[in-house]
Amino acid sequence: YGERDDELSVERLNPFSPVKSPKTLRPLLLLLLLLHSSFFFPFPKKTSLSRTFSLFLSSLFSFSLVMAAQVEIEDQASVTELDNGEIFDPISDDADSSTGSSSTDSMILLGEGSQERDVISTCLLSGMGAIASDTTIVAVRKKSTEGMTTRAKYLAFRIFTEAMARKNGGDPNVKYGWYAGSREEIESVISYGFSNREVRKFENDAGSHGIGIHIVPSKCSRFAALASEPDEEGLRHLLLCRLILGKPEQIVSGSKQSYPSSTEFDSGVDDLQNPTKYVIWSSHMNSYILPSYIVSFRSPSLRGRGGFPARPCSPWVSFAALMSTLAKSMDPSRMNLIMTTYDDFRKRRIRRDELVRKMREMAGDNLLAAIIKSHRDKNKVKV
């Protein structure tokens, strides 16, 4: 399909044909759906037996959906070694056995030499431009397919893909793209999906193209890396997602549009011919986006959004080190308030500036400045 060397296509990671539900399960699911729905119409009086049977149908219908997801995944795993250079399917049992170890219950560490890891790493580096030589891939982790919830999300994504294909003449326009954020934000998205907090991040950005989830095309990884946030170890993290674009419309910079301008369109882009931003509206953010991989990397020469260095030029200290030092200098009651605020920040309930403001109120600028200066002096001694 004319794929460029610096572009990661769906065909390369996953030969994504229009989805068909397992033929053996389709009649069963349809029958259960009809029976299940009939028990929710208002009747003059419901007997205990009818309520019990309705509950039974609900449980059986849910179980059938899970079984359908299982069959879908197993069928997909059987086509992971086709010709034409396709690699392991992102949601296949083959990749689960890759060399490496599971870092969390929901993520699988892809080992060195894994073809899947190599393709993703090459994609990220090829889009980094001049700083690719100074960029090191530290880890590539893949979302595991274990668990009923994950399998249900996978099945839902396939159903939405099929619906989009039917709407747009057979082409759902499925792409891969990078989502940038802090480590905590990305791990939360992997676990719980996107939320209004991620939407608000773009709502307050004057350069955003509409109010929705902004995803960077796979071939433009440098733009995503610029928007990433280094963690306390200097590592940056990007979330590689599969997404359903359908028919996109162009959204101008600074637009406050938050849904399609008409039923003809399904998503947004900054440029129809050469997009550098995909926009998925909040109403479909957890239906049209399927988070698949977390890529962790170092890039010392990478400069953050707006051209500012990744680390501040002035003295700085990590929040973890700051909390540890503050605990030795403050009374327990005030420290408990700070720790509660810090915990809210880690759980993405408040923004960074709100945490800083609260710390300044409780600890005072003089104490904070002294701790930062002391931390800087200790680092100089180590050097």
Which pLDDT tens digit goes with each residue over 30-65? 554 455 444 444 444 545 555 665 556 555 555 554
CB contact at 8 A, 106 and 190: yes
**Model confidence pTM above 0.85:** no
Q: How confident is the model at residue 301 (pLDDT cuts 50, 70, 90)?
A: confident
Strand-by-strand arrangement of the 107-109 sheet: 107-109, 136-143, 289-298, 236-244, 174-180, 212-217, 278-281, 267-269, 248-250
Query: pLDDT exceeding 70 applies to what percent of the chain?
Result: 66
Rounded mean pLDDT, 257-276: 95
Residue-wise burial string across 6-24, b where 16 or more C-beta atoms lie within 10 A, e elsewhere: bbbbbebbbebeebebbee
**Predicted confidence (pLDDT) per residue in 133-171, tens digit:** 999 999 999 998 888 888 899 999 999 999 999 999 999
DSSP three-state, residue 63: helix
- Statement: residue 129 has pLDDT above 60: yes
Query: Kind and range of the H or E element at 305?
Result: none
Distance CA 154, CA 289 (A): 10
Question: Which overall architecture, per CATH, does domain 107-298 show?
Answer: Alpha-Beta Complex (3.90)
- Statement: residue 94 has pLDDT above 90: no
DSSP per-residue string spanning 138-200: EEEEEE---SHHHHHHHHHHHHHHHHHHHHTTT---EEEEEEE--HHHHHHHHHH---HHHHH
Residues 311/312/313/319 CA torsion (nearest 10 deg): -100
CB contact at 8 A, 127 and 221: yes
